[in-house]
Structure 1
Amino acid sequence: MNALIPRPRTRPAPGAVHVPGWLSAEEQRHLVRACREWAGGPVPIRHTRLPRGGVMSVRTVCLGWHWQPYRYTRTADDVNGGRVAEFPGWLGDLGRRALADEYEDPRAGETYAPDTALVNFYDGQARMGMHQDKDERTGDPVVSLSIGDTCVFRFGNTETRGRPYTDVELASGDLFVFGGPSRFAYHGVPKVLPGTGDPATGLASGRLNITLRVTGLT
């Protein structure tokens, strides 16, 4: 097998940074195992139903707080009424390390205290339309981790779903953080590239995306 060629970090917009290959192979396997456990409940993974009746093609399970369009609650009243799994401390530690590494500043993650995570699973046909992450009551950065198949991640501007935007390929192990002036940028996933992941992660097919957020809720 040919050695992987390291990809350089990129900054598609002010406050947004992409670090390829940030997660080690063992960290990816650990996250895949954890995601399988979270997917089983107490609130199981599901296709989220939108207010106008549409159903999202990705499947989602939440930690700490339950997200449904367009609010956070402690219980999943749109699924089974259960309280979602707790947000684990080790995942918060990972988020703080991500900010310190992403912004190349050891102090960048010191005060970062994520209290929720959205875990999205994409099969080969799943997509995510352009949207803003704006249901949180803070402007703290969003930390995004990718495992499995590569996707095309479209990162746009804060004013419109259209251009200008930048398409970034997020591969297994990649880290993407957006905060500051890019915190409320529109973004989405127009395409997943099936068969591009490494089964050694424990994920035979599809893509996992884990996003850490600070809700600002009590």
Structure 2
Amino acid sequence: MPSPTPAQIPLVFDRPGLVAGVDEAGRGPLAGPVVAAAVILDELQPIAGLADSKKLTARRRERLYDEIRAKALACCIAEASVEEIDRLNILHATMLAMRRAVEGLRLRPAKVLVDGNRVPVLRIPAEAIVQGDATVAAISAASILAKVHRDRLCLGLDERFPAYGFAVHKGYPTAAHQAALLAHGPCPEHRRSYAPVRAAEVALALRSGANEIPR
């Protein structure tokens, strides 16, 4: 009697695949690059406490940064420079940084989830999720990586340009930052396409008696 045909194990072809979360940090500041991060989390290594980076303390962000880097299947942090921000505008520079972050992942995701209401041009399906940094773990992780990385960059800016207080305000247009801008003029890392920086540059030129006002 012939032996029965052995049962075959069905293969699953409709698995959703890897999903990357993407977020940025640094659209509002007057100086420094805009930073984006992309993260693919490992479901087998969950990370407790992920949330919108703006709602976490600096110490908590630093701890989560290390844990995300250690446990994620893949992550990448990318930047768009001050020159690119001034040349392209902040929106397009942000999209550029996001694209660089996704393309820098060592694993190719099947889908990308981006915080906000716009997505960069990618070769991978992407979806924008408003307030995704508060609702999607991978986006929360990306927001933390981007925020911590940019804050560290600002500490470096503070060492190079101590007159502006970058370590405190991280480049945002606080009263102290704008006062320093008016007193000293912009440094090389200030975004000339931003109105307060432009105004400070013009004011400095007028005080110095320059024949030509910067355009």
Q: Please state which band the TM-score falls in when normalised by the shorter chain.
A: under 0.3
| Structure with the higher helix share, 1 or 2 | 2
